[in-house]
Amino acid sequence: MSRKKVLVLGGNFAGLTAALAVRHELHGDVDVRVVSASDKFLFNPSLIWPPFGKRTPADVTFPVAPTFESHGVDFVHAEATALDLENRKVTTTGGIYDYDYLVIATGYRNNFGAAYEYLFNVSHQLRKAGLKKQVKLTYASPEPFLGHFGIGGLPHGETLLSMFLKKERITPVLDTAIDHVDEGRLVLAGGRNVDFSYAMIVPPFIGQEVIRQASDIADEKGYVKVRDTYQTLRYDEVYAVGIAVAVGVPWQTATPVGVPKTGFPAEQMAHVAARNIAAQIRGQLPADRKAFGDIPAVCVMDAGNNGVIILADKMLPPRKHGLLIPGPQAHAMKLGFEKYSSGRPATGTSTCRDWEARDD
């Protein structure tokens, strides 16, 4: 029997994990190719620090080719431009590639930031610079309440975040959307104006255009509709993981609130997909299942020299357990996570390759 071909679109958290994990599951007896528009891994959790001069772009990225090559994965630096799912082919700026199994891990369009982390780091840096009393900080959010986090909130989260904002003298404006931005003025839905000297806008995620055009698998925002095996609804051999996945939530808010799909949940989805692809290649049914809402919530919110560790048994309610642990250990934990996951040993590659491939 000829070796099966697995094609992965995207090379960050979800794509890198999926590619290495499927090789691991099949002990290398599979041809894996990754096609990515970027030739660098971006360690997204550290993006809150470059605006303050605490990191450079080189600190939060590393070349992915050496990592893939060391694991026997073919890497192609190119952008996917069209999907022919019926004929199992993907057109890219580097050529046309066929596949037996496809994993869509194309992430998002638009820049993004971690709103609470950035907010509290601004406050921390202003205090360090002796400017805190000269600046009025306002936080505008679509969240219906503080500490919603896009996951419906956790016990005591609203109280804790309210305390944080009060302590930092930050004014919240909730359940609102941005209508437009004028010079020195943010105009919110409903007509309220917030004047500013400096503003940081965190736009919503949307899926990649090449995915949105594949209307038989994607929704209007360009996210891929999947089963809890992470197979698409129509094609058993096509998977989607990470931010590229369309997620339904058990609530409706007056102003839409995004759902976090980066980091830990992206890895978990990728591992489920990898195990199911391996099962199919062995001639078995894809039996590994983990609905997005059932993935544990594990997050560290940094606040400069403080922060909050967020833990819950499930990403989305209903939950049995959930807690927020405030304290300086959150900041130390985030620094340790960055060092462990994307530090460079002498070889020039990253320990992220081992962390991402690990089957937890």
Output the six-digit token pair for 283. Answer: 């001639």
Summarised one tens digit per residue, pLDDT across range 237-264 is: 999 999 999 998 888 888 888 788 878 8
**β-bridge pairing 101-104 and 193-195:** unpaired
If one counts every other C-beta atom within 10 angstroms of the C-beta of residue 159, the result is: 12
Output the six-digit token pair for 272. Answer: 């489920």
If one counts every other C-beta atom within 10 angstroms of the C-beta of residue 259, the result is: 21
CATH architecture observed for domain 115-203: 3-Layer(bba) Sandwich (3.50)
- Provide the mean pLDDT of the chain: 90
d(CA 263, CA 298): 9
Q: Does the pLDDT of residue 198 top 50, yes or no?
A: yes
Q: Which helix (H) or strand (E) holds 80?
A: strand 80-84
10 Å CB burial of residue 225 (0-12, 13-18, 19+) is middle
CB-side neighbour CA atoms (13 Å) of 305: 7
Summarised one tens digit per residue, pLDDT across range 14-65 is: 999 999 999 999 999 999 999 999 999 998 889 889 999 999 999 999 999 9
pLDDT of 113 reads 72
Eight-class DSSP state of 349: -
**CATH top-level class for 5-111+204-291?**
alpha beta
**β-bridge pairing 80-84 and 89-92:** antiparallel
Q: Nearest to residue 10, comparing CAs of 50, 45, 49, 38?
A: 38
Q: What is the value of pTM for the model shown?
A: 0.86
Domain ranges of the chain: 5-111+204-291, 115-203
> What percent of the chain has a predicted confidence (pLDDT) above 90?
75
If one counts every other C-beta atom within 10 angstroms of the C-beta of residue 275, the result is: 21
Summarised one tens digit per residue, pLDDT across range 303-342 is: 988 899 999 999 999 999 999 999 999 889 888 878 776 6
Summarised one tens digit per residue, pLDDT across range 207-231 is: 999 999 999 999 999 999 999 999 9
d(CA 110, CA 222): 13
CB-side neighbour CA atoms (13 Å) of 157: 23
Fold match between domain 5-111+204-291 and domain 115-203: yes
Angle of CA points 158, 159, 163, to nearest 5°? 115
Output the six-digit token pair for 340. Answer: 């462990």
Cis ω for the linkage preceding 296 (within 30 of 0):
no
Summarised one tens digit per residue, pLDDT across range 120-145 is: 999 999 999 999 999 999 999 999 99
Output the six-digit token pair for 216. Answer: 């038989």
